[in-house]
Amino acid sequence: MEILNSSEYNYLKNHLNRLPNELEQHIIGAEWSEHCSYKSSKIHIKTLPTSSNIIVKGPGYDAGVIDVGNGHVITVHIESHNHPSAVEPHGGAATGVGGVLRDILSMGTRPIAVLNALRFGEIHNEKNASNLKNQWLLKNVVQGIADYGNCVGIPTVGGEVEFDKSFDNYCLVDVASIGYGKLNHLIKNKIKKNDLIILAGNFTGKDGIHGASFASSDLEEDNRSAIQIPDPFLEKILIEATIEAIEKKCIKSMKDLGGGGLACCLSETASNLEKGFEIELSNIPLKHGDITNSEIMISESQERMLYITSNKRLKKLFKIFDKHNIKYAVIGKVNNNKNISIKKNGILLAKMPAKLIANAPLLNRPSRKPLYFEEIEKSFKEPVAPEDLQNLVMHMISAPNICSKRWIYQQYDHEVGIRTVSKPGFSDASILKLEEGKYIAFTLDGNSKHCYLDPYEGTLGVLAESVSNIICEGGEPIGIVDHLQFGNPENEQIFWTFLECIKAIKYFCEFMKIPIVGGKVSLYNETKYGPIKPSPVIGTLGLIKNTKINRIEPPRSNESIFIIGMTFDEVGGSEYYEYFHKVVGGKVPKVNLASHSKICKSVRRMLNSTWISAIHDCSKGGFIISMLEVSIKNDLGFLIDVNKIPTTCKRIDNTLFSESHSRFIIITKHSSKVEENLIKENITFAKIGVVTENKKCILKENNKIICDLNLSQIDKKYNESISSILKTKQD
Partner 1 sequence: MVKVGITVFPGSNCDRDVYHIFKTKLKTNVSYIKEEKDLKHFDAIIIPGGFTYGDRLRAGVIAAHSSLMDNVKNIADDGIPVLGICNGFQILVESGLLPGALIPNNSLKFVCKWTNIKVTNTKTPFTNQFTQDQIISIPIAHGEGRYMLDNISYSNIKNNNQVTLKYNNENPNGSIDNIAAVCNSKGNIMGMMPHPERASDNELIPKGFSKNAIGIFESLISYINS
**In the complex, what is the shortest distance from the CB of residue 125 to partner 1, in angstroms, rounded to a whole number?**
24
Residues in contact with 570: Cβ distance below 8 Å, sequence separation at least 6, in sequence order: 586, 587, 588, 589, 590, 658, 659, 660
Interface positions, 6-25, toward partner 1 (CB under 8 A): none
Q: Which of 105, 427, 440 is nearest to 242 (CA)?
A: 105
Pairing mode of beta strands 696-701, 637-641: parallel
Q: What does the buried/exposed string (b/e) look like for 290-313 if buried means 16 or more CB atoms within 10 Å of the residue's CB?
A: ebeebbbbbbbbbbbbbbbbeeeb
**In the complex, what is the shortest distance from the CB of residue 613 to partner 1, in angstroms, rounded to a whole number?**
11
By CB under 8 A, which span of 275-283, 421-429, 453-461, 571-579 interacts with partner 1? 421-429
One of 325, 364, 672, 703 touching partner 1 (CB under 8 A): 325
One of 433, 533, 661, 663 touching partner 1 (CB under 8 A): 433
Q: Which residue lies nearer to partner 1 by CB, 112 or 363?
A: 112
258 lies in the site for partner 1, by CB under 8 A:
no
One of 71, 426, 545, 681 touching partner 1 (CB under 8 A): 426
CA distances from 705 to 388, 517, 701 (A): 12, 49, 6
Distance separating alpha carbons of residues 40 and 6, to the nearest angstrom: 17
88 lies in the site for partner 1, by CB under 8 A:
no
One of 69, 233, 530, 681 touching partner 1 (CB under 8 A): 233
By CB under 8 A, which span of 294-302, 350-358, 415-423, 648-656 interacts with partner 1? 415-423
Is residue 81 part of the annotated active site? The answer reads yes
One of 417, 446, 474, 475 touching partner 1 (CB under 8 A): 417
Interface positions, 115-154, toward partner 1 (CB under 8 A): 143, 146-147, 150-153
State the CB neighbour count (10 A cutoff) for residue 269.
Answer: 23
420 lies in the site for partner 1, by CB under 8 A:
yes
429 lies in the site for partner 1, by CB under 8 A:
no
Contact indicator for 525, 487 with CB cutoff of 8 Å: yes
Contact indicator for 497, 534 with CB cutoff of 8 Å: yes
By CB under 8 A, which span of 234-242, 348-356, 567-575, 703-711 interacts with partner 1? 234-242
324 lies in the site for partner 1, by CB under 8 A:
yes
Distance separating alpha carbons of residues 346 and 301, to the nearest angstrom: 25
By CB under 8 A, which span of 97-105, 418-426, 496-504, 537-545 interacts with partner 1? 418-426
- What dihedral angle (degrees, nearest 10) is formed by the CA atoms of 87, 26, 485, 41? -170
**In the complex, what is the shortest distance from the CB of residue 94 to partner 1, in angstroms, rounded to a whole number?**
13
One of 338, 343, 423, 644 touching partner 1 (CB under 8 A): 423
One of 13, 554, 608, 648 touching partner 1 (CB under 8 A): 554
595: exposed, middle or buried (Cβ count in 10 Å: 0-12, 13-18, 19+):
middle
Q: What does the buried/exposed string (b/e) look like for 146-185 if buried means 16 or more CB atoms within 10 Å of the residue's CB?
A: bbbbbbbebbbbbbbbbbbbbbbbbbbbbbbbbbbbebeb
Pairing mode of beta strands 110-120, 156-163: parallel
By CB under 8 A, which span of 164-172, 419-427, 673-681, 693-701 interacts with partner 1? 419-427
* Biggest alpha carbon–alpha carbon distance for the chain: 88
Interface positions, 531-550, toward partner 1 (CB under 8 A): 547, 550
**In the complex, what is the shortest distance from the CB of residue 523 to partner 1, in angstroms, rounded to a whole number?**
34
232 lies in the site for partner 1, by CB under 8 A:
yes
**Dihedrals phi, psi of 488, to nearest 5 degrees:** -70, 120
Interface positions, 620-659, toward partner 1 (CB under 8 A): 635
Distance separating alpha carbons of residues 545 and 594, to the nearest angstrom: 25
What's the chain's Rg over C-alpha atoms? 26
- The residues facing 700 across adjacent strands are 641, 705
Q: Which of 119, 121, 116, 118 is nearest to 134 (CA)?
A: 121
237 lies in the site for partner 1, by CB under 8 A:
yes
442 lies in the site for partner 1, by CB under 8 A:
no
**In the complex, what is the shortest distance from the CB of residue 93 to partner 1, in angstroms, rounded to a whole number?**
14
Is residue 26 part of the annotated active site? The answer reads no
One of 252, 414, 616, 661 touching partner 1 (CB under 8 A): 414
728 lies in the site for partner 1, by CB under 8 A:
yes
- The residues facing 685 across adjacent strands are 564
**In the complex, what is the shortest distance from the CB of residue 685 to partner 1, in angstroms, rounded to a whole number?**
26
Catalytic residue, candidates 26, 44, 77, 81: 81
Interface positions, 354-413, toward partner 1 (CB under 8 A): 409-413
Site residues for partner 1 per CB under 8 A: 143, 146-147, 150-153, 231-234, 236-237, 324-325, 409-421, 423, 426, 433, 547, 550, 554, 635, 728-731
Residues annotated catalytic, as ranges: 35, 81
